[in-house]
Amino acid sequence: MASIGHLSAPRAIPALDHLPRPLYARAESLGAGSWTTRHRHDWVQFSYAISGVLSVYTSDGSYFAPPQWGVWIPADLEHDVASSMRAEMRSLYVRRDACPWAADQCRVLEVTPLARELIKQFCLLPVEYAQGDTAEARLVAVLLDQLRALPEVAFSLPLPRHPGLLRLCNSLIVAPDQVQTLQQWALQLGCSEKTLMRLFQRETGLSFRSWRQRMRLLSSLALLEAGENVTEAALGCGYDSTSAYIAAFKQLFGFTPGELRL
């Protein structure tokens, strides 16, 4: 998913040539419509939302972090970060040699209560915290262990490489309430419905139906954060039934749309 256009000016990216320690913290209060230009850096980044919804966009897909979830961004991966509404973000930058276990792809992770408290305490430390056999260094070691163990969740939206499928997906992302069937899309792409189903599964790892449902639910996050009620969010992302939307939302996220803003 390409990042959505924003009216505000881009948010500044920290001018860091290197990390002064294996772990570096950054706390930010983001205004509505905050975004960065596409960039990369020489370290791993883990950003999570205390409040608001973070969106991370790469050439391979989009990743969404509602409150208390975070996005793990590998080193050297081009990405941009956006928040449609106000958000409180905490980011950890991690040297490559401090996390040799890190995956080489973006992932959305659940921030456990223990990890949350460790991040909170780490953010209180000076940038050049004491190393060696110190309490600060031990805190960092435990925090890195916890980051390694955070469970992954399905708050991502993979994009296909196939040009025709990519156009299809982008058109759905722009207007998630579209009602075209897979058969209609197959006709536009000049192939059979079965061929399109196989191609979609191979390119995204999801069936067309599963991908579209996930896309609609993820797109509804911004509507809810913007203050729309549950019925408005359901209709805006393509659901005819509010109850069906609530049930699908609960199944994907583990909480109801109403609980998102509590």
Strands 87-94 and 44-51: antiparallel
Q: What is the pTM of this model?
A: 0.81
Residue 30's contacts (CB-CB under 8 Å, 6 or more residues apart) are 11, 52, 83, 86, 87, 88, 89
Whether the Cβ atoms of residue 73 and residue 112 lie closer than 8 Å to each other: no
> pLDDT tens string for the chain (262 positions)?
444 444 455 676 777 888 999 999 988 877 767 778 889 999 999 998 888 788 899 988 999 888 889 999 999 999 988 876 677 888 999 999 999 999 889 999 999 999 999 999 999 999 999 999 999 999 999 999 999 999 999 889 999 989 889 888 988 888 898 888 888 989 988 999 999 999 999 999 999 999 999 999 998 988 887 788 999 999 999 999 999 999 999 999 888 998 875 4
* E strands present in the chain: 23-30, 34-35, 44-51, 54-58, 61-65, 69-73, 80-83, 87-94, 107-110, 152-153, 156-158
Whether the Cβ atoms of residue 176 and residue 211 lie closer than 8 Å to each other: no
Q: Which domains does the chain have, with CATH numbers?
A: 23-153 (2.60.120.280), 159-260 (1.10.10.60)
Strands 44-51 and 34-35: unpaired
